[in-house]
A = this chain, B = another copy of it.
Amino acid sequence: MKAVIIAAGEGSRMCNTLGSSSLPKPILPLLGIPIIERIIRASKRAGINDFIVVTGYRGEKIKDYLGDGKRLGVKIRYAFNQQWPMGNAYSLLAARPFIEPEERFFLLMGDHIFEPALLHNFLKHVEERVGKSSLPEKSQKLHFLAVETSFPKELDLDEATKALITGENITGLGKELKQFNGVDTGLFNFHYHIFDILTENIENSNGSISSALQPIISNNNLKAFQFKNLFWQDIDNRTDLEQAKRRLLKRLVPEKDGMVSRYFNRHLSLAITSHLSNFPISPNAISVASFFMCLGSAFLFALGQPVAASLIAQLASVLDGVDGEIARVKFQESPFGAYFDSILDRYADAALIGGIVAGSLLAETSSPLLILLAGFFALTASPFSMLSKEKYTNLTGKEYIPSELEGRFSYLPINRDGRIAIIMVGGLLNQLTLTLIVLAVLTNLQIIIRLIVVRKQLLCTNKNIK
């Protein structure tokens, strides 16, 4: 299905607050990716590959930036709306030559970002709903608007276009609506038929889409796709842009994070990501940097510099979160990146333990046998945290989330973030042998905990299969 993106407006409220910015709003960068590129990339994930961008104010800037879409792996064509100051309804009409009669298409706003799942679910909903009405005459009268019904606290209700949903129909739409139970997200799905309706009614409207749609609202032909708790945001001004940044960053913290990561590392790594995202640095480059910092830390441990070593190790652990964050926020996730990162992490872990063993042996403060044994058990058990999670996922199809499955034990610092925190504390206190012993005990204890947890989970799964 095609998508029409309206990117014709001046974005005057944005310009005022941004001062001298002369870029049209859709190509303002948000965590390293222009707003309209976010919209196209999210749509692509939802299964949309063919775009018509309607430009107006400084349209050539948008065209120069996006081009024909090859770089993004999609097709982009441009419609120019000369009458752009008169309103969005005129921009929608400008897209008419690109849509076939009988064709359905999405309408997206060039300043409304959203997560891929939102458009994906919307698409499924439309396909199901249209599939039900077997008569073409009926289906061409069906138009849809995605309506948020959960009213998140970030929403500015004064600025929002409100919607009143009655059954499956939208019976009221507008900024001034007194009675409402949802918020207009600016994501529409139309039949080509909409152009005829617009042509007839546009003169009696104020040029906004919501006013031009009043006739189909009165005829109960605008249907609501209702959703809750999916991310979208309208970006009108600088405040919205900052809020979008904060909300996008917050969404980067994975559920399976360990405690040290959740309450400490992520605060730092998100701040780093917020800055680094503006530069063309690939996630894999960050993984490699984190790996070499661990190698450096291991050498410093071996050379008898535990304080410097431990601080570098902890910094590397923070940076180990940044690669994934950058990848997710810049649509650069790749399975190979995840694979590569996991291998580097295992080598980095081993190097740190090796460095501590070497430093401990050379310091000659404990028995070599004790150091070697503790090092052996720590090194043996250290890949298990990852190994057990991967195996669990393969056996059950579900992600292993310690905080859900391990109860109080999930507070033990035995994920990678926790193990490196132990190394940091042990290094700062210059207690290398003790650090090895603590690591060996905790990581091997973890294997027993996981064995018990996985056994319980898999026996439940078995029952379900039977």
Chain A contact residues, CB within 8 Å of chain B: 73, 334-336, 338-340, 342-343, 346-347, 350, 354, 372, 376, 379-380, 383-384, 386-388, 390-396, 447, 451, 454-455, 458-459, 461-462, 466
Contacts and interface: CB of A to CB of B under 8 A. Distances in A.
B335 A396 contact: yes
B393 A335 contact: no
Contact of A395 (B339, B395, B454): B339
Chain B CB within 10 Å, residue with most, of A340, A376, A451, A455: A376
A340 B390 contact: no
Given A334-B462, A387-B387, A391-B390, A454 B379 contact: no
23 contacts: A334-B462, A335-B395, A336-B455, A336-B458, A338-B395, A339-B391, A339-B395, A339-B451, A339-B455, A343-B384, A343-B388, A343-B451, A346-B383, A346-B384, A347-B380, A350-B376, A350-B379, A350-B380, A379-B379, A379-B380, A383-B383, A387-B387, A390-B394
Contacts of A383: 346, 383, 387
Contacts of A459: 336
A459 B334 CA distance: 9
A451 B287 CA distance: 15
A347 B382 CA distance: 12
Contacts of A343: 384, 388, 447, 451
A117 to B, nearest CB: 16
Contacts of A395: 335, 338-339
A372 B458 CA distance: 39
Copies per complex of this chain: 2
Contacts of A461: 335
Q: Is the interface of A mostly helix, strand, loop or mixed?
A: helix
Contact of A335 (B340, B354, B447, B462): B462
A388 to B, nearest CB: 8
A239 B451 CA distance: 44
A347 to B, nearest CB: 7
Given A390-B391, A447-B343, A466-B73, A454 B336 contact: yes
A384 B392 CA distance: 16
Contacts of A339: 388, 391-392, 395, 451, 454-455, 458
Chain B CB within 10 Å, residue with most, of A335, A350, A458: A335
Contacts of A342: 387, 391
A334 B458 contact: yes
Contacts of A393: 394
Question: Which 7 A-B pairs rank lowest in CB-CB distance, beginning with the nearest?
Answer: A390-B390, A350-B380, A335-B395, A336-B458, A335-B458, A383-B383, A336-B455
A390 B385 CA distance: 13
Given A335-B396, A346-B383, 18 more contacts: A73-B466, A334-B462, A335-B458, A335-B462, A339-B388, A339-B451, A339-B454, A339-B455, A340-B451, A340-B455, A343-B388, A343-B447, A350-B376, A350-B379, A354-B380, A372-B372, A387-B387, A394-B394
A119 to B, nearest CB: 17
A328 to B, nearest CB: 15
A334 B463 CA distance: 11
Contacts of A350: 376, 379-380
A401 to B, nearest CB: 15
A392 B379 CA distance: 23
A339 B400 CA distance: 13
A436 to B, nearest CB: 13
A220 B36 CA distance: 63
A383 to B, nearest CB: 5
A350 B384 CA distance: 12
Given A451-B340, A462-B335, A346 B380 contact: yes
A388 B340 CA distance: 10
Contacts of A394: 390, 393-394
Contacts of A454: 336, 339
Contacts of A380: 346-347, 350, 354, 379
Nearest to A340: B451
